[in-house]
Structure 1
Amino acid sequence: MSYSSPAVVIDNGSQTTRAGFASADLPSLVYSSTYSIDPSDPKKVIIGDDERDSNPQNEVMTLIDNGLVYNWDNIIHNWQYAYDNLDASSPIDPKEFPLMLTEQPWNTDKNKLAATQLAFETLQVPIFSLVKTPLAQLYHQGKSSGLVVDLGSGITSVTPILDGIVQSKASFHSKYAGDFISLHCLNYLSQQVPSLDYLLPKPFVNNPTAQLSASFKNFQVTNRVVEDFKYSMLSVSEFPANNPAAHAALQIQSKNFYLPYGKTIPVANEQVNLLEPLFQPSAYPLPNMTLPQPIFDKPSTQGLTHLILSSLKALEASIIPQAILENTANTSANSSHHARFNDILRELLTNLLITGGGSLSAGITPRIIDSVYKSLHQYFPNYLFTQPGHLHIATIQPASINNLDWDKKFGSWLGACNLASMLNGTGSSGNQEDNSVNIALDNWYVTKSDYEELGEDLILEKFK
């Protein structure tokens, strides 16, 4: 059977939640992935940007850490907010709509079961699905194989996907992402003003008597002023900072950043220097924060280029037996294995998807391509394809350049919608189910009746 009601798609990110009907072109709701508690009524959880700003005395708390939901007591309020506001701020009944959520490749079995339980037992949705974020992002671009580099707010991740299968052993992530850059920006801005209050956005600047909690102040400064600073002032240098001669030769014209209360801050070399920590995090210490020492075989301690190359190296190890990797002398015995990985490497590098809100920073795509290009032949010396002069790296481009911002900001939500829409297929005969519906049910969804009959084993098998 096909379903007349469109699926509801909710994409919980570290900074914002995107929600809407799968039949829509863009999410109808984009709201903060934070919440607060009403002190007078501890059972009242406040979700939504307007609601949060109307209660500045409340502490602002998070639901997502390391790219995963960790606050299961209150994530249900985040999802319920979507149902209450999806239809032009009118509530809809979860029982009448399939639900699809996104998840990261490193999501735990415990989390999968918790999400499914809330969906079926609390919301009582008829059908439920979890789809991996990088897979949805790649599918949205019409590809089934590629290397997805997602520069998000809380997490930077690199995920190889081959024929629609996420290569989990080669999927790596780190916390050197948008929030990490925000800390560097906040550190710089704080040195230019007497106190954090000078960075508060309107109307809080104009209402000094308002009681603002510490976490509310931090949220407003970071998510309003610092975000504006990042995307209006910063760009990625063509030359890395560890190339002093080239970096010093950059002709950087000073800009002025306007603070909410009128003061301007000159921004010169910081326009490029403040994004360098993405590539060399340990070279840019932060006050009152101890960064882990970079370790070669721990990608999460390294910068962006190393994270990408480590992912490809791990993929090689998962495809080619270790004995062959260690014994390169017997070329005839090894040639077929290396030829296979050479083809895979070629396919991934010519289908490189750089996405996420952080990928909107000017200059970041050519910098990633250049840094990977210059290092690949050192990591993979046995492959002709990675020798200088033979290498070609191509990023996946959106169908329309006008959709660039939307594809990068909402790519996982849009891709999930592509998959969720398969449920609404109509067959050529009224007595036959459309193939797309069968595929969706078999591969992406669990029905409430199957959940009640087969339980946890079905969930872990379906969403592995």
Structure 2
Amino acid sequence: MAYTAPAVVIDNGSYTTKAGFASDDLPSLVFNSNYIVDQSTNQVIVGDDEMEQYSQNQVSTLLEDGLIYNFDNIAHNWRYVYNNIDNHNAINSNEFPLVMTEQSWNTMKSKVKTCQIVFEEFEVPLFSLVKNPLSQLYRCGKSTGLVIDVGSSVASVTPILDGVIQSKSSFHSKFAGDFLNLHILNYLEGKVQSVDELLPASYRTASGSFKSYYMSSHVLQEYKNLSLNYQVSNLEIYNHKFLDVSDQRNYLENLFDPTLNKLPNLTLPEPSLDLPASQGLTNLVFLAIRNLESSLLPSNDDPSAQSQNRFARFMEIFKQLLSNVLITGGTSLASELPDHIINDLKALMQKCFPNYPFSYHVQQIRPTQNNDNADIWDRQFGSWLGACNLAGMLNENEENSSSAKIALDNWFISKADYEELGEDLILEKFK
């Protein structure tokens, strides 16, 4: 049966939370994922405008390594969504299905805790957890592809074959947007006598963590978006003061070689192929392809005809994979980044995998073709939009459509089934 009420879709990112109805073209709410606890009342403050009124208090985080770790306070983030999703009007959480996104390396313990909160505290009627790279690839109309997601706190490379994430060939690191922010902050600190000059005067007496939060979410984010897409020679800061930034570096190179420019007070692990988290973006791609090769390629000591068939199948899979490279995530909005990734991927295939003439197959795909504005939304809100596509299957009520039944059978858990079967059902549905 099809549902008439649209699902609520929440994408908790390390930098921002995106939320809205699955029937919407874009999220109706985009707000910082951090929060503040007011020291005088113990009230939890969520939302950009709301937080700026409590600048003397400490700012806390909800996610680490792209995963929710602070389950004591994540419910306040979700409650803020329900209180504001309908043009800043509240809705009842028990009247709408709920879909949330998750990273492909999310833990089962985290999935169980999430289900416990949404069913027992929010009493949602239906719930689903959608893996980011899978929903993003499906949105492009593909079931096989290489998803390269460069977000705020995490960069990840995920091969997907016939709708199945290849977990043992998927890797991620923290060399993403926040890492670029550290380099930009180090550069701008050399342009001023005190870093407080980069802040509005009203926040120069704020708590240290609020200063860091504001610096990251406003000053550094705005300058990064500007400098990575345009040639900037002067940067206007507060009090109508301008900084000469004509000698700025190409910060993007730090994503590909994290050790290229050293940062004060930050020691990085020695790069090692045995430690994927120590690698830059190109080497993450290399590790993903190398591991996929070893898992799919027939062994050398198997000369049978079956082995030859497996080799042919392996070649076909690789061609299809490299023909469907999806580059997404907010940091990928930097104008030079997609071309850099594609060119590196072509060079990587020629250098490290010379036995396979695949370099000419490397091709970037997009959910929306020939529309620059749509491409921006696709990268910035790709996880949310992909989850909306799957959630929308609940509302398809054409006479011959079985989409709602497929969605219910495969991706959703009802509150009644959760109460009856509990953790066993979660383990089955959200593998």
Tell me the TM-score range normalised by the shorter chain: over 0.9
Larger mean Cα displacement after TM superposition, 141-150 or 81-90: 141-150
Alignment of 1:29-48 (within 5 A): 29-42=29-42, 44-48=43-47
Q: Give the aligned partner of residue 131 of structure 1.
A: 130
Contact 2:349 2:358 (C-alpha < 8 Å) held by counterparts: no
The residue number in structure 1 matching 2:185 is: 186
| Mapping for residues 54-93 of structure 1, pairs under 5 Å | 54-93=53-92
Question: 2:140 corresponds to which letter in structure 1?
Answer: Q
Q: Which of residues 313, 316, 327 in structure 1 aligns to 2:293?
A: 316
Give CA-to-partner distance per residue, 1:406-439, whole Å, 9 cap, x none.
Answer: 000001101100100111121428xxxx411100
Question: How far does residue 335 in structure 1 lie from its aligned partner after superposition?
Answer: 3.3
Alpha-carbon distance in 2 for matches of 1:385, 1:360: 26
Distance 2:343 2:50 in 1: 44
Which residue in the other structure is 1:244 paired with?
none
- Asked if structure 1 preserves the Cα contact closer than 8 Å seen for 2:20 and 2:85, the reply is yes
Q: Which one-letter code corresponds to 1:31 in the other structure?
A: F
Q: Output one character per residue of 1:61-94: Cα deviation in whole Å (capped at 9) or x when no partner.
A: 1101100000000001000100000111111000
**Alignment-derived partner of residue 237 in structure 2:** 259
Q: CA deviation at 1:332?
A: 6.5
Identify the match of residue 255 of structure 2 among 259, 273, 278. 278
SS of alignment partner, residue 421 of structure 1: helix
Deviates most, 300-309 or 76-85: 300-309
Q: What is aligned with 2:342?
A: 369
What is the CA distance between 1:234 and its match in structure 2? 2.5
Aligned equivalents of 1:417 and 1:254: distance in 2? 37
CA distance in 2 between counterparts of 1:233 and 1:63 reads 29
Cα distance, 1:275 vs structure 2: 1.8
Residue by residue, what CA displacement relative to the aligned partner does 1:375-432 show, whole Å, maximum 9, x if unpaired?
213322332334xxxx231111223333011000001101100100111121428xxx
Tell me, yes or no, if structure 1 residue 14 matches structure 2 residue 8: no
Aligned twin of 2:311: 338
Cα distance, 1:135 vs structure 2: 1.1
Stretch deviating more after TM superposition (189-198 or 333-342): 333-342
**Which residue of structure 2 aligns with residue 167 of structure 1?**
166
Q: Which amino acid aligns with 2:86?
A: D
Distance in 2 (CA, whole Å) between partners of 1:438 and 1:6 is: 16
CA RMSD of aligned residues (A): 1.8
- Measure the CA separation in 1 of the matches of 2:53 and 2:120: 32
Which residue number in structure 2 is paired with residue 233 of structure 1?
A: 227
TM-score normalised per structure 2: 0.95
Compute the displacement of 1:146 (Å).
1.0
Maintained 8 Å contact 2:269/2:278: yes
Conserved in 2, the CA contact under 8 Å of 1:130 and 1:463?
yes
Unaligned residue ranges in structure 1 (runs of 5+):
237-252
Unpaired runs of 5+ residues, structure 2, are none
Question: How far does residue 315 in structure 1 lie from its aligned partner after superposition?
Answer: 1.4
Q: Residues 252 and 337 of structure 2 are in contact (CA less than 8 Å); yes or no, is this contact kept in structure 1?
A: no
Residue number in structure 2 paired with 1:415: 386
**Which secondary structure does the structure 2 equivalent of 1:414 belong to?**
helix
Partner secondary structure for residue 268 of structure 2: coil
- Residue 275 of structure 2 corresponds to which residue in structure 1? 298
How far did residue 211 of structure 1 move? 4.0
Aligned residue pairs, count: 429
1:271 positional shift: 4.1
Q: 2:141 & 2:179 partners in 1: Cα distance?
A: 31
Deviations for 1:234-253, whole angstroms, at most 9, x for unmatched residues?
Answer: 259xxxxxxxxxxxxxxxx7
The CA distance in 1 between the partners of 2:405 and 2:322, in whole Å, is 33
Amino acid at match of 1:461: E
Structure 1 position 163, deviation (Å):
1.8
Any conservation in 1 of the 2:176–2:255 contact (CA below 8 Å)?
Answer: yes
**Alpha carbons 1:234, 1:270 under 8 Å: kept:** no
Aligned equivalents of 1:266, 1:146: Cα separation in 2: 43
Distance 1:33 1:383 in 2: 44
Given that 1:234 and 1:271 are in contact with CA atoms closer than 8 Å, whether structure 2 keeps it comes out as no
Q: Are 2:373 and 1:385 aligned?
A: no
Between the aligned partners of 2:27 and 2:195, the Cα distance in structure 1 is 33
1:221 aligns with 2:215: yes
Shift, 1:339, TM fit? 2.0
CA–CA distance in 2 between the matches of 1:228 and 1:106? 30
Contact preservation (8 Å) 1:105, 1:132: yes
Deviations 1:205-261 (A, max 9, x none): 2x37x741111111111111111111111259xxxxxxxxxxxxxxxx761122123
- Residues 1:450 and 2:417 aligned together: yes
Secondary structure of 1:220's counterpart equals helix
TM-score relative to the length of structure 1: 0.89
* Aligned-residue offset at 1:101: 0.3
Give the residue type in structure 2 aligned to 1:309.
F
**Cα distance in 2 for residues equivalent to 1:294 and 1:152:** 21
Q: Work out the CA distance in 2 between the residues paired with 1:286 and 1:424.
A: 51
Quick check: 1:235–1:271 contact (8 Å CA) kept in 2? no
Match of 1:349 among 322, 328, 331: 322
The amino acid across from 1:229 in the alignment is Y
Find the aligned partners of 1:7 and 1:304 in 2 and give their Cα distance: 35
Task: Return 331-340 or 187-196, whichever deviates more.
Answer: 331-340
User: What is the letter of the counterpart of residue 192 of structure 1?
Assistant: K
CA–CA separation in structure 1 for the residues paired with 2:233 and 2:311: 50
Structure 1 residues 91 and 306: CA distance shift in structure 2, 3 A: same
Q: Is the 8 A contact 1:9 1:416 kept in 2?
A: yes
Question: Does structure 2 conserve the Cα–Cα contact (< 8 Å) formed by 1:235 and 1:275?
Answer: no
Distance 1:279 1:131 in 2: 28
1:115 Cα offset (Å) = 0.5
Deviation at 1:51, TM superposition (A): 0.7
Is the 8 Å Cα contact of residues 226 and 232 (structure 2) preserved in structure 1? no
Q: Distance in 2 between matches of 1:331 and 1:226?
A: 58
Sequence identity of aligned pairs in percent?
Answer: 51
Change in CA separation of 1:427 and 1:275 when aligned onto 2, cut-off 3 Å: closer
